[in-house]
């Protein structure tokens, strides 16, 4: 059964016990799709902003974000070298830390960087 409405282009249709407006339903579906896309774009944007903020903060902190204790530092650096970085230069660049300061700190406990093994031994 089709009912007339105030809007001449809009028609209501009874389906079962519910009253539906086909143009309105199509418009709402389009609007929901647009909202979904907007939310996804917004989430991606927020993630990028948080990532950039974290990266900037970590660059500003540099050596502050890694362990101070030389033994803990050794464990931290060797783990990072083993799992994430192909060289000490890449680790220092990515974490924004001074290579000389790092090697001096680990040399104080008699550990030196071995390029062949890509670890401090």
Per the confidence metrics, is the pTM higher than 0.85? no
* CA–CA distances in Å: residue 116 to residues 12, 15, 23, 86: 76, 74, 69, 11
Q: Which of 26, 16, 27, 20 is nearest to 5 (CA)?
A: 20
Q: Which of 92, 75, 120, 86 is nearest to 101 (CA)?
A: 92
Query: What percent of the chain shows pLDDT beyond 90?
Result: 40
pLDDT in tens, 10-52: 566 666 666 666 655 555 556 666 666 666 666 666 666 666 6
Contact, 2 vs 12, CB < 8 A? yes
Tokens linked to 71:
């033994």
């Amino acid at each position: 059964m089709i009912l007339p409405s105030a809007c001449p282009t809009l028609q209501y249709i009874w389906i079962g016990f519910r009253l539906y407006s086909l143009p309105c339903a199509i418009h709402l579906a389009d609007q929901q799709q647009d909202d979904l896309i907007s939310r996804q774009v917004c989430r991606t944007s927020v993630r990028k902003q948080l990532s950039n903020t974290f990266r900037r903060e970590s660059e500003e902190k540099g050596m502050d974000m890694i362990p101070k204790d030389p033994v803990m530092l050794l464990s931290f650096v060797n783990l990072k070298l083993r799992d994430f970085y192909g060289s000490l230069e890449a680790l220092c660049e990515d974490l924004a830390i001074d290579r000389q300061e790092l090697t001096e700190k680990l040399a104080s406990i008699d550990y030196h960087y071995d390029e062949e093994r890509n670890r401090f031994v």
